């Protein structure tokens, strides 16, 4: 059975960086599930049809890391039919040998509730806004407002709201550098892999 690592958390908490590093160091497959929603939102038109018809070219678009794509992702992610269309894709991906690391907002609660490791990565609003502003070359105050709006929308949606799984380990990266955050995540994986 493949080893699954589920990493959830709000935008700019560090979950993607941690997920990529874990996958690389462990030789696992990695899926940034947010890209599926970003690509669906960026396609425009009927979001349900867009989710059902996602292809490799859609996931390779250069604009998927933009703030606009992130906002569009949050809007389409609130549509139950869009989420249903993307669930199977994510679950198939997770079953790849030797293992997979998936990061998103509902991996440990909905997509892979039986994942062997569940991390919920978070950081203060101000730190997340500063990180995202630096990444995009944007105004930190504007980023803070956008992140809070997105957090509210993601946490309050009826289907698969953003929240830690009951058995997730909380990893607060507010005062951690990248290597320290990765080391903390690896320590949790090692604890489960090598009890």
Binding annotation for ATP: 9-17
Instruction: Check: CB of residue 73 under 8 Å from CB of residue 40.
Output: yes
Annotated binding-site members: 9-17
Please write down the long-range contacts of 160-163, taking CB distance under 8 Å and 24 or more positions apart: 160/83, 160/105, 160/106, 160/109, 160/110, 161/106, 162/8, 162/9, 162/10, 162/105, 162/106, 163/109
Instruction: Check: CB of residue 164 under 8 Å from CB of residue 113.
Output: no
Nearest to 31, CA basis, from 39, 17, 19, 13: 19
Rounded to an integer, what distance in angstroms lies between the CA atom of residue 126 and that of residue 132? 10
Instruction: Check: CB of residue 42 under 8 Å from CB of residue 72.
Output: yes
Instruction: Check: CB of residue 119 under 8 Å from CB of residue 168.
Output: yes
User: In which region does residue 137 sit, left (phi positive, over 0), alpha (psi from -120 to 50) or beta (all else)?
Assistant: left
């Amino acid at each position: 059975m493949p080893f699954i690592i589920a990493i959830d958390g709000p935008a700019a908490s560090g979950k993607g960086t941690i997920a990529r590093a874990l996958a690389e160091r462990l030789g696992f497959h990695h899926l940034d599930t947010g890209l599926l929603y970003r690509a669906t939102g960026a396609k425009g038109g009927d979001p349900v049809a867009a989710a059902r018809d996602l292809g490799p070219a859609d996931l390779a678009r250069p604009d998927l890391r933009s703030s606009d794509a992130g906002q569009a992702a949050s809007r389409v992610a609130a549509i139950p039919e869009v989420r249903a269309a993307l669930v199977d894709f994510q679950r198939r991906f997770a079953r790849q040998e030797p293992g997979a690391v998936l990061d998103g907002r509902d991996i440990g609660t909905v997509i892979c509730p039986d994942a062997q490791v569940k991390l919920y990565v978070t950081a203060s609003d101000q730190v997340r806004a500063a990180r995202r502003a630096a990444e995009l070359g944007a105004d930190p105050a504007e980023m803070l407002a956008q992140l809070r709006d997105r957090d509210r929308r993601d946490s309050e949606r009826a289907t698969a709201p953003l929240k830690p799984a009951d058995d997730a380990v909380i990893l607060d990266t507010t005062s951690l550098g990248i290597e320290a955050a990765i080391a903390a995540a690896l320590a949790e994986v090692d604890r489960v892999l090598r009890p």
